[in-house]
């Protein structure tokens, strides 16, 4: 990929360099990856979401993404998922984006629909389909599902209804309505969730899509509905704000949706004006012998690198990226434009501010809120070896 708006020729750490996409400047390349917390009631963000996500702004991240936020009530994964299917859900998100902005972070929202993987249990309740124990324990009942194909995601999951064209048209309108609400809520970046076995990944992958109409069969047909959604979102999302798409770059090794497919999809997304592809993997059921590559540090980076090089679109790398030097090396190698961290951020919401000190030394303390950094910088000086020691 040519050195363009996405690279800065500088000896200064790339991780800490600003990045401009459309009308927005990210203060650094550090992103909090979308992570479901399953704590919403009726899709509403609460004080928990404000404090949880707000910590990452105080901790120096450039972009803080919400967890998957459902475009319809039926499109939730669990009863605890966030949503933007009605106007009443806007206000608590506005409070969140105001806080993130006040503390120097951009606010991103991931819009999704669970498809055949909806009506599920929270991970700690079993991660399976909702059933009688959930009804008894928490009054959580399953709801009817829709998907590309009328086939259960896994044993015991409800069989979804296959979407017909008019239901698909309605969903495109739902995505757009949710995007309008996201704009009203003050979000800067919109990410369309096309990964992890949910609705749109279910259209893309031959493992989820067995349709025999214009939306199934060939790669072009399987991409048709996700591309329609992406195109509709690009038309309604403000021209000066970036639109990302998260993909599962492969379903499994030599099985199902492949990196070649992802490159074709990314190239089509680029033509529609999508700004960046966020490269995850997996989410479909695959035979064990075709499972994902071993989960070693940065195991998904090669996918971000492949998409960036071959489709010529900016990418975000994610997956077991844990330290600043590793993140910097990924950017230096030209493998990605942004670095997303998930669990490491849960473990350390100050990761970005710490990475800034690690990579930039003394000047890095300005990445902290002054009320913390002033003290921490002085404490750090105590640790420096004294002359003659």
Ligand X SMILES: Cc1cc2nc3c(=O)[nH]c(=O)nc-3n(C[C@H](O)[C@H](O)[C@H](O)COP(=O)(O)O)c2cc1C
The residues binding ligand X (CB under 6 A) are: 33-36, 67-68, 110, 193, 195-196, 246, 280, 318-321, 341-344
The CB-of-377 to ligand X minimum distance in angstroms stands at 28
- The nearer residue to ligand X, 83 or 342, going by C-beta atoms, is 342
The CB-of-84 to ligand X minimum distance in angstroms stands at 14
List the Cα angle 47/192/306 in 5-degree steps.
125
**CA 349 – CA 282 distance, rounded (Å):** 26
The CB-of-278 to ligand X minimum distance in angstroms stands at 8
- The nearer residue to ligand X, 110 or 258, going by C-beta atoms, is 110
The CB-of-320 to ligand X minimum distance in angstroms stands at 4
DSSP per position, 142-209: ----EESSS--SSTTSPPPEEP-HHHHHHHHHHHHHHHHHHHHTT-SEEEEEE-TTSHHHHHHSTTT-
Within 8 A by CB and 6+ apart from 312, the residues are: 1, 267, 270
The CB-of-340 to ligand X minimum distance in angstroms stands at 7
- The nearer residue to ligand X, 49 or 211, going by C-beta atoms, is 49
* Residue closest to ligand X when measured from CB atoms: 342
- Of the candidates 69, 67, 7, which has an alpha carbon nearest to the alpha carbon of residue 338? 7
Give the three-state DSSP class for 58.
helix
38 is catalytic: no
Burial grade of 267 (CB within 10 A; 0-12, 13-18, 19 or more): middle
- The nearer residue to ligand X, 35 or 50, going by C-beta atoms, is 35
- The nearer residue to ligand X, 100 or 162, going by C-beta atoms, is 100
* 24-26 and 19-21 strand pairing: antiparallel
- Cα distances from 352 to residues 241, 298, 381, in angstroms, run 23, 17, 20
Residue among 38, 175, 198, 215 flagged as catalytic:
198
- Of the candidates 341, 269, 266, which has an alpha carbon nearest to the alpha carbon of residue 304? 266
Q: Supply the residues annotated as catalytic.
A: 198
């Amino acid at each position: 990929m040519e050195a363009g708006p996405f690279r800065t020729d500088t000896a200064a750490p790339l991780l800490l360099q600003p990045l401009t996409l459309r009308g927005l400047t990210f203060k650094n390349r550090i992103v909090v990856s979308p992570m479901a917390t399953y704590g919403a009631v009726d899709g509403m963000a609460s004080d928990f979401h404000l404090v949880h996500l707000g910590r990452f702004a105080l901790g120096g991240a450039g972009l803080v993404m919400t967890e998957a936020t459902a475009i319809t009530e039926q499109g939730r994964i669990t009863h605890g998922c966030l949503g933007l299917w009605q106007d009443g859900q806007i206000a608590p998100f506005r409070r969140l984006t105001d806080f993130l902005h006040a503390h120097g972070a951009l606010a991103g929202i991931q819009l999704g629909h669970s498809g055949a993987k909806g009506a599920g249990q929270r991970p700690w309740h079993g991660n399976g389909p909702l059933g009688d124990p959930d009804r008894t324990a928490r009054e959580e009942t399953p709801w009817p599902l829709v998907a590309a194909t009328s086939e259960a995601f896994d044993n015991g999951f409800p069989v979804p209804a296959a979407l017909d064209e008019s239901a698909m048209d309605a969903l495109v309108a739902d995505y757009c309505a949710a995007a309008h609400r996201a704009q009203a809520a003050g979000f800067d970046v919109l990410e369309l969730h096309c990964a992890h076995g949910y609705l749109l990944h279910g259209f893309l992958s031959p493992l989820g899509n067995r349709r025999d109409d214009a939306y199934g069969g060939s790669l072009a047909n399987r991409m048709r509905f996700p591309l329609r959604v992406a195109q509709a979102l690009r038309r309604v999302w403000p021209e000066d704000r970036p639109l990302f798409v998260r993909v599962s770059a492969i379903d499994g090794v030599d099985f199902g949706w492949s990196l070649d497919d992802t490159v074709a999809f990314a190239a089509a997304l680029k033509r529609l004006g999508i700004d960046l592809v966020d490269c995850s993997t997996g989410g479909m059921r695959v035979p064990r012998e075709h499972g994902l590559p071993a989960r070693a540090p940065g195991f998904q980076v090669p996918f971000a690198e492949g998409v960036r090089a071959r489709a010529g679109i900016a990418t975000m790398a994610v997956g077991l990226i844990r330290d600043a030097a590793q993140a910097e090396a990924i950017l230096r190698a030209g493998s990605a434009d942004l670095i997303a961290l998930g669990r490491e951020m849960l473990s350390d919401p100050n990761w970005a501010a710490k990475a800034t000190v690690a990579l930039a030394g003394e000047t890095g303390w300005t990445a902290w809120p002054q009320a913390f950094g002033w003290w921490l910088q002085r404490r750090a000086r105590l640790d420096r070896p004294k002359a003659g020691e």
